[in-house]
Structure 1
Amino acid sequence: MHRLLLSLATTPTPLPTPTLREGISEDQVTPGLLGFIMTAFFVVATALLIVDMVRRIRRVRYRAQVEEDRLAAAAAADVQASDAQDGLNAPEPGRSDGDGNGIAPGQSRPRE
Structure 2
Amino acid sequence: MTALISDALITVVLAATPDPNFDPNTVTPGVVGFVAIFFVAAATVLLCLDVVRRIRRTTYRAEIKARLDAELAERDNDPNAPRTPGDKPE
- Normalised-by-shorter TM-score class: 0.5 to 0.7
Of Structure 1 and Structure 2, which has the larger fraction of its residues in helix? 2
Residue in structure 2 matching 1:35, options 15, 30, 33: 33
Q: Which has the larger radius of gyration?
A: 1
Name structure 1 gaps, 5 residues minimum: 1-20, 85-112
State TM-score, norm by structure 2: 0.60
Supply the distance in 1 between the matched residues of 2:63 and 2:23 (Cα, whole angstroms): 62
Identity of aligned residues (%): 40
Post-superposition CA distance 1:4-24 (Å, at most 9, x none)? xxxxxxxxxxxxxxxxx8455
Aligned equivalent of 1:73: 71
Give the drift of 1:60: 0.2
State TM-score, norm by structure 1: 0.49
Give the drift of 1:53: 0.3
Following superposition, which runs of at least 4 residues in structure 1 exceed 3 angstroms of deviation?
21-26
Aligned length: 61
Q: Structure 2 vs 1, CA of residues 23 and 68 (structure 1 numbering), >3 Å: closer, same or farther?
A: closer
Supply the distance in 2 between the matched residues of 1:39 and 1:30 (Cα, whole angstroms): 13
